Amino acid sequence: MNKRYIVALDQGTTSSRAVIFTPEGKLMASASMEFKQHYPQPGWVEHDPDDILFSQVESLRSAVRKANINPAEIASIGITNQRETTLVWDRESGKCLYNAIVWQCRRTASLVEKIVEEGKSDIITDKTGLIPDAYFSATKIQWILDKLNLHERAEKGELCFGTVDSFLAWNLVKGHPHVTDATNASRTMLYNLRTQSWDDELLKIFNIPRAMLPQVVDTARIIGFLDDEILGVPIPVGAMVGDQQSALFGQACFKTGMAKNTYGTGCFMLMNIGEEFKKSNNRLVTTTAWRLNGKPTYAFEGSIFMGGATVQWLRDELKLISSAPESEEAALSVPDSGGAYLVPAFTGFGAPHWNMYARGTIVGMTRGTNCAQIVRAALESIAYQSKDLLDAMAADLGSLPESLKVDGGASANRFLMQFQSDIMNIKIIRPEVLETTALGAALLAGLAVGMYKSLDEIASVWEAQDEFTPKMKEEDRNLALKGWQRAVRAALYWADDRE
């Protein structure tokens, strides 16, 4: 049987997806299934592990049916996943001891505060590239062990910890391998990016026994074969990769300085910084982009909390538009925002400003400011925030990239993309396949089974669809950016002046 297809299992925060690609990177079929979010207390978020498994297996079966292919034609499967989400299960029975604690969950904020107060921040950042936060897995594992009094069992090796990639590998691959890949390990706050291994000093800080940790493997490597029960045939599982790193790979950002920005609910920007670990001086995090043949490539990462969500706010709360795409028409109906700036720091500022007390604000309005101008200011705010991230990355790396590759729901907005190009003064490139997260995992899975011989070969598969080039005059850009910086200062002043 000809092994013709590569498949991505894309296990996300609200749904599980399966996407089937041809070796040329063309999307053949996809299927997805949403699952329930559990909010047991304010700020807590959990998933039922059985829901994760069920929705993932069902979406895979459904995608194969839709594509109308014989499963024996699948050459390799790659797993990409919501990162940091934490599961602990019994090594003997495979049963989870607690629900999956989702990356968004804030229950361990006080554990992180304690560690920061003890002066451990610098050691953690120096080794992991991360800024200590409840977001990452370490304090979530600590919480489960403390809450259920499991330290002794964990020490004895009776328990397994895994992020979602690891959990899926254990449950879907024959022989139950207990593995994770270097990109997912990089988000636990227990993994030393410089040595590319679990770190004893970090394990001690969080009081987590090494015996419960998975083996860390390359991002593209056959970890085993899909259980026959799922599709009736054994298929190599050739990759595991965190979702944002997968998108960076799926955008073929293989050279130092290449970057991608995903415009979803929030925005995630990642920049390839090469094969040497670098720490950011601008409060970005460093992460493993991928590890191939034992060799890591690193990336800077920064995120914006309110990306496309700002557009949802216009639609659902202000009711200025009735659908997200309508924002483009409204923005284009006026020549500019009339001097108004919207700073959507509704839940504080992420990178590079990091201020949890900042709140949203609109400044610079006049008696003539109208709805279309507010919509325009909202879209512009997504571009300005992304510009701040790119500047922080460029300052750390010492040069501005020539272009930025984009994907995600809001990258469909042509006004936003043109304004992004204008304000960054670089080319914006939108690919043909916008499912870059899934594509990255599928390409990595193809690499593991020899479907591609090199990254160059994969880069030649990648195709740009649209390009946006800067059209704004330099003086206009400078003026616009000056206004944005003033607006950000206004939002920060509001935060700092609270009593």
Which residues make up the interface to ligand ADP (CB under 6 A)? 264-265, 308-309, 311-312, 324-325, 327-328, 408-410, 412-413
- Of 273 and 406, the one with the shorter C-beta distance to ligand ADP is 406
Taking the complex as a whole, the smallest distance from the CB of residue 140 to ligand ADP amounts, in Å, to 21
Taking the complex as a whole, the smallest distance from the CB of residue 259 to ligand ADP amounts, in Å, to 18
Taking the complex as a whole, the smallest distance from the CB of residue 154 to ligand ADP amounts, in Å, to 34
Contacts of 231 (CB under 8 A, 6+ apart): 60, 61, 64, 71, 74
Residue pair 288/248 in contact (Cβ under 8 Å)? The answer is no
Count of CA atoms in the C-beta half-sphere (13 A) of 408:
23
- Of 54 and 313, the one with the shorter C-beta distance to ligand ADP is 313
Taking the complex as a whole, the smallest distance from the CB of residue 436 to ligand ADP amounts, in Å, to 10
Taking the complex as a whole, the smallest distance from the CB of residue 223 to ligand ADP amounts, in Å, to 26
Taking the complex as a whole, the smallest distance from the CB of residue 261 to ligand ADP amounts, in Å, to 12
- Of 105 and 267, the one with the shorter C-beta distance to ligand ADP is 267
Q: Which of 433, 407, 438 is nearest to 420 (CA)?
A: 407
- Of 219 and 262, the one with the shorter C-beta distance to ligand ADP is 262
Residue pair 171/266 in contact (Cβ under 8 Å)? The answer is no
Taking the complex as a whole, the smallest distance from the CB of residue 279 to ligand ADP amounts, in Å, to 28
- Of 236 and 307, the one with the shorter C-beta distance to ligand ADP is 307
- Of 395 and 412, the one with the shorter C-beta distance to ligand ADP is 412
Partnered with residue 263 across adjacent β-strands are: 267
- Of 83 and 127, the one with the shorter C-beta distance to ligand ADP is 83
The most distant pair of C-alpha atoms in the chain lies apart, rounded to whole Å, by 70
Burial class (CB in 10 A: 0-12, 13-18, 19+), 258: buried
The rounded distance, in Å, linking the Cα atoms of 276 and 269 is 19
Partnered with residue 430 across adjacent β-strands are: 466
- Of 12 and 209, the one with the shorter C-beta distance to ligand ADP is 12
- Of 158 and 326, the one with the shorter C-beta distance to ligand ADP is 326
Q: Which of 142, 148, 247, 126 is nearest to 195 (CA)?
A: 126
Burial class (CB in 10 A: 0-12, 13-18, 19+), 479: exposed
Taking the complex as a whole, the smallest distance from the CB of residue 461 to ligand ADP amounts, in Å, to 22
Torsion of CA 129, 131, 136, 140, to 10 degrees: 120
Taking the complex as a whole, the smallest distance from the CB of residue 339 to ligand ADP amounts, in Å, to 22
- Of 142 and 244, the one with the shorter C-beta distance to ligand ADP is 244
Taking the complex as a whole, the smallest distance from the CB of residue 82 to ligand ADP amounts, in Å, to 10
**Cis preceding-peptide flag for 352 (omega within 30 of 0):** yes
Residue pair 342/374 in contact (Cβ under 8 Å)? The answer is yes
Taking the complex as a whole, the smallest distance from the CB of residue 383 to ligand ADP amounts, in Å, to 11
Q: Where are the alpha helices (DSSP H) in 34-95?
A: 49-67
Q: Which of 98, 19, 23, 5 is nearest to 56 (CA)?
A: 19
- Of 169 and 434, the one with the shorter C-beta distance to ligand ADP is 434
The rounded distance, in Å, linking the Cα atoms of 96 and 161 is 10
Angle CA(334)–CA(417)–CA(352) in degrees, nearest 5?
105
Q: Which single residue brings its beta carbon nearest to ligand ADP? A: 409
Please give the DSSP secondary-structure letter assigned to residue 233. Answer: S
- Of 70 and 312, the one with the shorter C-beta distance to ligand ADP is 312
The rounded distance, in Å, linking the Cα atoms of 129 and 285 is 5
Taking the complex as a whole, the smallest distance from the CB of residue 230 to ligand ADP amounts, in Å, to 25
From residue 354, how far is each of 310, 345, 409 by CA, in Å?
18, 10, 25
- Of 397 and 416, the one with the shorter C-beta distance to ligand ADP is 416
Taking the complex as a whole, the smallest distance from the CB of residue 10 to ligand ADP amounts, in Å, to 10
295-304 and 285-292: which strand pairing? antiparallel
Torsion of CA 402, 249, 437, 471, to 10 degrees: 10
Partnered with residue 100 across adjacent β-strands are: 47
The rounded distance, in Å, linking the Cα atoms of 437 and 138 is 25
